[in-house]
Amino acid sequence: MTPEEYVAKNILLPELKLEKVIKRSAKRFDYHLHKTNSFEVCPKCATKSSSVHDYRTICTRHAKYNAKHIHLVIKKRRFRCPNCKKVFTEPVAGIRKGFRTSEKYRSGVLYDCQRFTNLKDVAKSNRCSQSLVGKVFYERLEIELRETNNTPWSKSVGIDEHSFKRAKKKSRKSFVTCFVDLKLKRLRELAPSRNAVDLQKSIAHIPGRENVTNVVIDLTDGYKNFAQNYFFNANIVADKFHVLRLINPALNKHRKEVVGDRKNPIRFLLLKNRSKLKPEEVKAVNRFCRENATVREIYQLKQRINGFYRIKGFKQASRVLTKITDDIATSEIKEIKTLRKTLMKWRKEILQYFKTGLTNARTEGFNRKAKLIQRMACGYRSHRNYRLRALYACR
């Protein structure tokens, strides 16, 4: 491809004319260009001007072609407006004012960031600084994500959290809250905390909150209160996984009292779904429970809760949940008493599962993907950069 053909195909600016091409090195070529139009419009008063005041030459990085680094050396004219007497420089489409990189170059950096594992390799490939790569990368991510900003909420939303980084003063972790549109199968927003005010500010730009009829959360009072106030037409659904795991801490605690805190195969057998156990594993669990009455009581309750989620129909599930809470009311085990209070407190939200069939499985999947992004970057200090990277990866 000749230099003229390259300019015509890749720059696509008919007012630019190629003067010459200079080979600076084996991998760098300078394309000398100038504009051919006879006049420009004053940006201040919109008056046509054809009076050239002087000239300026700029050198701009352009997108690579066949692994060659292209630099555009453009001779720009400065016009003097006949009306307001202002001197202005002619613009070039595809190159923003004050920038020394073209839009195609910046798009190419985004493409390289998707191919390489870290920004250092991107900087080496593009022969630029890491700070420029980071600035261009997150700027392009923000531009790409603007397309979805005005997409309204659908009927079902999942809310969950994961850790972000440790606080400097109190040595406590800070958390981010992710909002997932379960119908569109998309991560919609990452809020910088679990505070209700911060949550509302983070998702205020997303329209259509009146469309949301179901919000799936874990058993957290803060998220419950926020969802009731913000998504005022929505029913709260308690996530199935978090209800099933309520009994596990009590089972682990009393199992340790018997076998100690050492690694023991019975630990995994007690926590595993009984329907997935092999016959010899079932015998081992039964023998262990016969020898330990407290563990047996907790394990039987665990099986009842698992069986509760296999029920079909809201009315039948309501009766079974009432029966479970009534039966465990006489238990002397402290953890079971606490579990009964939790089940009664979240009864309405737990039973909503049997009307909707919704869980937070997809939300947990996006959480996992966001954590992998954190690990690949060895952690983030800027929530803005982390948010853009996660939203772009989970769109």
* pLDDT over 70 (residue 10): no
Q: What is the pLDDT of residue 149?
A: 80
Statement: residue 197 has pLDDT above 80: yes
Q: Does residue 1 surpass a pLDDT of 80?
A: no
Q: Is the pLDDT of residue 104 over 60?
A: yes
Q: Give the range among 242-246, 348-352, 372-376 with minimum mean pLDDT.
A: 372-376
Q: Is the model's pLDDT at 151 over the cut of 70?
A: yes
> pLDDT-derived band of residue 202, with 50, 70 and 90 as boundaries?
very high
Q: Which residues of 24-38 are buried (b: 16+ CB within 10 A; e: fewer)?
A: eeeeebbbbbbbeee
Tell whether pTM > 0.85.
Answer: no
Domain boundaries, the chain: 1-100, 103-148, 156-239+359-393, 242-356
pLDDT tens by residue, 35-72:
888 889 998 898 999 889 999 999 999 888 878 888 99
Using one digit for the tens of pLDDT, what is the confidence trace for 176-190? Answer: 999 999 999 999 999
Among 24-28, 77-81, 340-344, 354-358, the least confident range: 24-28
Q: Higher-confidence residue: 277 or 165?
A: 277
Would you say how long the chain is, in residues? 395
pLDDT in tens, 303-317: 999 999 999 999 999
The CATH number for 156-239+359-393, chosen from 3.40.50.80, 3.30.420.10, 3.30.300.30, 3.40.50.150, is 3.30.420.10
pLDDT on residue 376: 85
What's the alpha-carbon Rg for the chain, to the nearest Å? 31
Residue 170: which pLDDT band, with cuts at 50, 70 and 90? Answer: low
Find the mean pLDDT for residues 156-166: 90
With beta carbons less than 8 A apart as the criterion, state whether 140 and 149 touch. Answer: no
Average pLDDT over residues 144-160: 89
| pLDDT for 327 beyond 70 | yes
pLDDT in tens, 108-117: 888 888 888 7
pLDDT-derived band at 26, boundaries 50, 70, 90: confident
